[in-house]
Amino acid sequence: MIFGPNMQNFADIARNFVAQNAAIQVQDPESLGNHNRRIARRRKRRAELGRNALKVVHENLGAIDRTMEMILERLQNREIYIVYDI
């Protein structure tokens, strides 16, 4: 996976993929072309990126369920209060 600089909506995810050597972030179209050509020639590198990306995805499976469980538990224990402003 190769992506550009504008990942504001996915900053944590993008950072995680790059840090785990599962993606490449480029800053401009020229870099994108250079990386695409380089990756196209390097089968082992493509496979490495793919394996690492799959690992990142597997490590984060169930994140929504874990987050919901945490929120519900805190709601039940009255650690979180819902405020209605009508």
Return per-residue pLDDT of the chain as tens, 86 residues: 899 999 998 899 999 999 999 999 999 999 999 999 999 999 999 999 999 999 999 988 887 888 888 888 878 877 666 666 66
Quote the pLDDT of residue 82: 63
pLDDT given for residue 27 in this prediction: 95
pLDDT of residue 81: 63
**What pLDDT sits at residue 83?**
63
Residue 18 has what pLDDT? 97
Q: What is the pLDDT of residue 72?
A: 85
Cβ count near 22 (within 10 Å): 19
According to the model, what pLDDT value does residue 80 have?
Answer: 63
Contacts of 56 (CB under 8 A, 6+ apart): 16, 17, 20, 22
* β-pair partners for 24: 2
Alpha-carbon distance values, 36 to 18, 23, 40, 54 (Å): 16, 12, 6, 20
Pair 24, 2: CB distance under 8 Å = yes
